[in-house]
Amino acid sequence: MRLLSLTTLLAALACTARAELKLPAIIGDNMVLQQKQTNPLWGWDTPGTEVTVKFRDQTKTAKAGADGKWTVKLDPVPANAKPATISIKGTTTKELKNVLVGEVWICSGQSNMQWNVGSSWDADLEIATAKFPNIRLITVPNVGTQEPQQDFKGEWKECSPATVGGFTAVGYFYGRVLHKMLDVPVGLINNAWGGSAAEAWVNRGELEKDPRFKLLMENTKKNEALLTSAAAKTKYDADLAAWNKQSEAAKKEGKPFAVRAPAPPAAWLNGNARPANIYNGALLPTIGYGIKGAIWYQGESNAGRAYEYASLFPFMIQNWRNEWKQGDFPFYWVQLADFMAEKSDAVQASASSWAELRESQTKTQDAIKNGGQAVIIDLGEANDIHPKNKRDVAERLARWALVKDYGMKLPYRSPEFKSAEFTGDKATVTLDTFGSSLRTVDISEVKGFVVCGEDKKWVWAEAKITGKDKLEVSAQGVAKPVAVRYAWSDNPVCNLYSTDGLPVTPFRSDSFEMLTKPKP
């Protein structure tokens, strides 16, 4: 009887300990609710508990399910910069203070999105002037796992000189433009992870069901089997011991030692390239929160698989939309910048996996609804994969949103390839300039074109603008060109723009087999 009484008491104490209303980090003080749409709020409490949520004149109730989770949906309300309180009562009561209503955007991708304000150009001035209490910031930590996560450690903060320095620069500058143009509060969710691969951001079950990603998932399973084996641990231990020995020897001899330590098997297993790792660890805890849309800056880590990216990237976007259950929300991305050494040889310059990745990004505009890309082929740095000018990048992204989502009339889209006609020794190239016209920058001569004949040997070409949307292209020694390319290299020398100041999108007229197409 005493044993039974003790067991009952312990069970009661355990229930009492669990009897507490809990909220995820994404729902807290200082947050921004998305205006003019339903906003889900959720949390956990003792199963069966009725939870009441009060916000202004709304009262919503829900019952915690068997897993303790409850969800309510607030009715749409217009933007409001007046701080409000949300009261949530279950087994206990919580009050969320300083809540605003405005525009909420996800800021995602790899290191160029993660790159913070404090590491960008004019960081001192940008930080000192970041006095925007109605812009709210929250950052999701980098967690890679195959186990779905419900929450993360983080909190919403008002944008200020004290909080903005470590925040995504592209995200902040983007949000600042919207805030100034729309005069409404803006919420920014930063969940970027440097070096991440696109497949790490996708639900694994969805990847495994699609035959287009059969090779990707086969290689994933092989890697998982290898890295979880005893042989992998033995090899790592041996490699680490050898590295330590080399390091100690260099230290004794007073020599520099810059060799990187070998990565443990867990580095990939828990890292940013394993399919679904970031989806589970960083994205999932935010899915369902009311947002307007997403901005994305990624692709470098997938450049070697650009052919696959043409399917993978739109698939990822659609996966996000399916799981968010907010319809085809806006999704805007940054095309890869110019990077690496400039090449003077036309043949070498025209063989580029980065150019192919850019093409896959451009094609995604036709593969999905409500998407678009900011072209930054003029904003990169040859010797740094992280160009410091993030302000111009963000402003080109913001143009898309201001026009497509907020109804403003502004130039927003870079000129794109439309057609090429070959007559004799010339190619007539027509671009879609989206109401603008063409011009050169820096010098009058057009730079960046190559052509080839049936031998597929690329030769630098001369080009001249012959109309608001047309160019004539030719090259000595190519009597009958069959294909033309523009800015088709890692770091092209190119200078063609719209008169609105947007660079022409890199393109090719041919459909020659891609370098990155998997070989049988």
Closest CA to 460 of 322, 344, 295, 372: 344
Q: H-type helices in 377-499, by residue range?
A: 390-404
Q: What is the pLDDT of residue 19?
A: 74
Contact in structure between 271 and 265 (CB atoms under 8 Å): no
The Cα-based distances of 66 to 45, 46, 54, 187, 290 in angstroms read: 10, 8, 23, 32, 25
pLDDT given for residue 35 in this prediction: 98
Q: In the 8-state DSSP scheme, what is residue 35?
A: T
CA 15, CA 3: separation in Å to the nearest integer? 19
Whether 273 and 200 have beta carbons less than 8 Å apart is answered as yes
CA angle 368, 491, 501 (to 5 degrees): 65
Q: CB neighbours of 429 closer than 8 A, spacing ≥ 6? A: 417, 419, 420, 463, 470, 471, 472, 473, 484, 486, 509
Q: In this structure, are residues 186 and 175 in contact, taking their beta carbons and an 8 Å threshold? A: yes
Name the residue among 234, 305, 259 with its Cα closest to residue 516: 305
Q: How many whole angstroms separate alpha carbon 352 and alpha carbon 354?
A: 5
Per-residue pLDDT tens digits for 392-435: 999 999 999 999 999 999 999 999 999 999 999 999 999 999 99
User: What's the distance, CA 158 to chain centroid?
Assistant: 23
Task: Please tell me the number of Cα atoms within 13 Å of 310 on its side-chain side.
Answer: 17
List, for residues 127-179, the tens digit of each pLDDT value. 999 999 999 999 999 999 999 999 999 999 999 999 999 999 999 999 999 99
Bridging pattern class, strands 50-55 and 58-63: antiparallel
Rounded (10°) angle between helices 390-404 and 169-182: 40
**Helix 306-324 with 353-367: angle, nearest 10 deg:** 40
pTM: 0.95
Return the pLDDT at 18. 53
- Rounded Cα gap, residues 159 and 128, in angstroms: 11
Residue carrying structure tokens 């799981």: 323
Distance CA 240, CA 323 (A): 42
Quick check: 436 and 500 in contact, CB under 8 A? yes
The residues, any chain, with a CB within 8 Å of residue 472's CB and separated by 6 or more, are 426, 427, 428, 429, 463, 464, 466
The answer to whether residues 203 and 319 touch, using CB atoms and an 8 Å cutoff, is yes
- The stretches of 143-256 forming alpha helices (DSSP H) are 169-182, 204-209, 214-227, 230-252
Residue segments in the chain with a per-residue pLDDT below the cut of 70: 1-18
Domain residue extents for the chain: 416-508
C-alpha distances in Å from residue 72, one per residue of 53, 60, 151 = 8, 6, 17
In angstroms, the CA 463 to CA 450 distance is 9
- In 245-322, the DSSP E strands lie at 293-297
As given in the structure block, the two tokens for residue 265 are 């098997």
Task: Using CB atoms within 10 Å of the CB of residue 54, give its burial: 0 to 12 exposed, 13 to 18 middle, 19+ buried.
Answer: middle
